[in-house]
Amino acid sequence: MDYREPPRITTADARLDGGFVADDSPRRPRRFDFVRPERHLDLPRVLLAALAGMLALGFCGYLMWRGARSAVEWLHVQPDYELRFTELTLAEPPPEWFRGGREAFLKRVRENAQEDEVLRVLDLAKGQADPEKSRIHRAFRLFPFVEDVTKVEYPPRGIVVHLVYKQPVAIIPFRGDEPVILDRNAHVLPNEDIDLEKLPPPIQLLGARTILMPSPGLQPGLPWRPPSSVPDGAQIERCVKQAANLAAFFLEPERAELAASTPALKIIGITVTEAIPTPDVSEPRGFFLVNAEKAFILWGPAPGEEAPGALSASEKWAILAKWAKITPRPVLPGRDYWAFSRTDLEGVRTRPQTGPQGTGGNPG
């Protein structure tokens, strides 16, 4: 009987080597295996591709920005967002004495500031961050009748302006010429816009024409000043400003209401001459008042200009109000005048005479 060794079974990947399978023998590459060679990074191409991507992204962003800007510009010029200057809302209407009312007031503001007749509301609203520099704020501040612009509001499709108006308180009359009308700070106000029939009578500032005549060509809205050729012009300008301030004191609502029913308290004139320092008089007596009864009253310095320890303007008014209630009141002859003591008004004679009233100079 023949003995045969059974055949050894091997895998396709193994080979016979001395009767055993060599598992660690190198593998024969398969027919369909792909060989991938090593590749190095091409840096210039990467940079070029990144640059191209950035340029494309930037261009798309620019197109989006231009589109958004064009849309905003288109929106700004739409009729729904445009407003005529005369359609602005004034929170405080112009005074009754201003000729033409609100529409005429707004027209004069626009012409004075040389503003556009039609406003783009969305463009103007950009000035909300700095109201002092906004076009609306500037236009109204330039107008001679506006003392202050307290607020500018931009509600949807509109503009609301809050104003403080200048009030005419003093008038300098000139025979044969137009008068000069002043506010409490002695700013000149345009005569043509004031209806004197609707205005409570301003207090006249009295004095020599050569003293009170303003500088030629003085623009409305600017402070009164004398011609440069007038001696002591700075002193005169200061006194006129103080006189206008004194006139405003008498025309404050509470005092004006009381004076309307009491002629002795109704001040119709302030004489400026005696308040101006001169080489001969270093300490002038101050302002003289003329009331509706034609009485002369030595008031003295303007409010806030009193010497330490002297009567204040409010204290003098209280004495004047008490004096006005005296009936019958003595009537001083000629140019005699009344002067304040600590508690009362005393008569002063302009001509020497014997008696307790003393002497004084002729007012005015």
151 and 266 assigned to the same domain? no
Q: What amino acid occupies position 167? A: Q
- The pLDDT mean for the chain works out to 82
Is the same domain home to 215 and 240? yes
Domain boundary among 118, 140, 165: 165
C-alpha torsion 204→207→212→213, nearest 10: 100
* Domains in the chain, number: 2
* pLDDT of the residue at 56: 77
**Same domain membership, residue 190 and residue 149:** no
pLDDT at site 330: 85
Residues 158 and 176 in one domain: no
Domain annotation covers residue 359: no
Same domain, 152 and 245: no
pTM over 0.75: no
**Do 94 and 234 lie in a common domain?**
no
Query: Would you state the pLDDT for residue 186?
Result: 96
Residue 308: the pLDDT is: 93
Is residue 195, in this structure, part of any structural domain at all? yes
The predicted structure's pLDDT at residue 359: 38
Residue 311 lies in a domain: yes
Show the domain range for 90: 81-165
Has residue 91 been placed in a domain? yes
| 123 lies in some domain | yes
pLDDT at 256: 95
158 with 261, same domain: the answer is: no
**Pair (179, 298) in one structural domain:** yes
In the prediction, which pLDDT does 142 show?
94
Say if 16 falls within a structural domain.
no
What angle (nearest 5°) sits at the alpha carbon of residue 160, between those of residues 72 and 113? 80
Q: Exposure pattern of 334-363 as b/e (b: 16+ CB <10 Å)?
A: eebbbbbeeeebebbbbeeeeeeeeebeeb
Whether residue 126 lies inside any domain: the answer is yes
| 265 and 279 part of one domain | yes
Tens of pLDDT, residue by residue over 262-277, are: 999 999 999 998 888 7
Same domain for 208 and 307, yes or no, is yes
* 122 and 241 inside one domain: no
Q: How do residues 16-68 score in pLDDT, each as one tens digit? A: 455 545 555 556 555 555 555 566 666 777 777 778 778 877 777 776 766 65
Instruction: Collect contacts of 218-227 with beta carbons under 8 A, ≥24 apart.
Output: 218/188, 219/188, 220/144, 220/188, 220/189, 220/190, 221/142, 221/143, 221/144, 221/187, 221/188, 221/189, 222/187, 222/188, 223/185, 223/186, 223/187, 223/188, 224/180, 224/182, 224/186, 224/187, 224/188
Picking from 149, 165, 181, the residue at the C-terminal end of a domain is 165
Confidence at residue 57, expressed as pLDDT on a 0 to 100 scale = 79
The encoded tokens of residue 71 equal 């849309």
Which regions in the chain score pLDDT beneath 70?
1-42, 63, 65-81, 121-133, 157, 279-282, 351-364
Domain contains 327? yes
Last residue of a domain, one of 145, 165, 185: 165
Please tell me whether residues 154 and 252 are part of one structural domain: no
